[in-house]
Amino acid sequence: MNRPLQSTSSEPWPPEGVDVFRSARRTRTVQARHAGERIEVRIPARFSEREEREAVAEILAKLKRRSTSNAVSDDDLLARAEKLNAQVLDGKARIGSVRWASNHNTQWGSCTVSTGDIRISDRLRDVPDWVVDAVVVHELVHTFIPGHGPRFWEWADKVPRAERAKGFLEAYQRFGPS
Ligand SMILES: [Zn+2]
């Protein structure tokens, strides 16, 4: 059965490379993330077809703007970690590897102290750069200070906008993507 569309456009929906999911849990927020080569967009289940098109177009535009500045590859992430180590931590961190990882359910990042291998949750791929920086610096500090004592925070809080990043992550944990 043909569904009547307001648009006269013959372009496919959803757009090429995009998957749209309707979520009953979502009330008004729209969220998009990279999933390999594709982009997954989540919208509230109650959205009309028109609202869906508008919301998806809007978030894809936003994602495009962000990806020009975000560290999208592992190489970018490593380069960023090295830069932050030099600029914020006086080069004290011992970096083995830095990579995005998808197996972090509750953590934003992890660090294996013995090897200096750092993993950053790919749930953070689409958050602002300064938030990722705070998570990277947090894990970098763990390469030379275990635990979260006062000395740890003395270093970790040197990252620009440290407090704002903590607030952002708290809210993102509650209302952001799951
Ligand atoms: Zn920690």
Q: What is the DSSP letter of 113?
A: T
Cβ atoms within 10 Å of 148's Cβ, excluding its own:
12
Query: 9 alpha carbon to ligand 1 midpoint, in Å?
Result: 50
The fraction of the chain above a pLDDT of 70, given in percent, is 85
pLDDT of residue 104: 58
**Which two tokens mark 80?**
């960023």
Q: What is the dihedral of CA 37, 41, 42, 45, to 10 degrees?
A: -120
Mean pLDDT of all residues in 13-25: 88
pTM over 0.85: no
Query: 111 alpha carbon to ligand 1 midpoint, in Å?
Result: 8
pLDDT, tens digit, for every residue of 45-74? 999 999 999 898 888 887 776 655 455 688
Half-sphere exposure of 131 (CA within 13 A, CB side): 20
pLDDT of residue 1: 44
pLDDT averaged over the chain? 86
| 157 Cβ contact partners less than 8 Å away, ≥ 6 residues apart | 163
Query: 76 alpha carbon to ligand 1 midpoint, in Å?
Result: 22
**Highest mean pLDDT: which of 6-10, 22-26, 99-103, 112-116?**
112-116
* SS3 state of residue 122: helix
Q: Which residues lie across from 121 on neighbouring strands?
A: 101
Say which amino acid occupies 136.
V
pLDDT, tens digit, for every residue of 80-123? 999 999 999 999 999 999 999 887 567 899 999 999 999 999 88
Query: 75 alpha carbon to ligand 1 midpoint, in Å?
Result: 23
Q: What is the dihedral of CA 141, 142, 143, 149, to 10 degrees?
A: 90
Q: Which residue is associated with the tokens 């959205």?
A: 47
**Highest mean pLDDT: which of 10-24, 29-43, 109-123?**
109-123
Residue length, the chain?
A: 178
Query: 34 alpha carbon to ligand 1 midpoint, in Å?
Result: 26
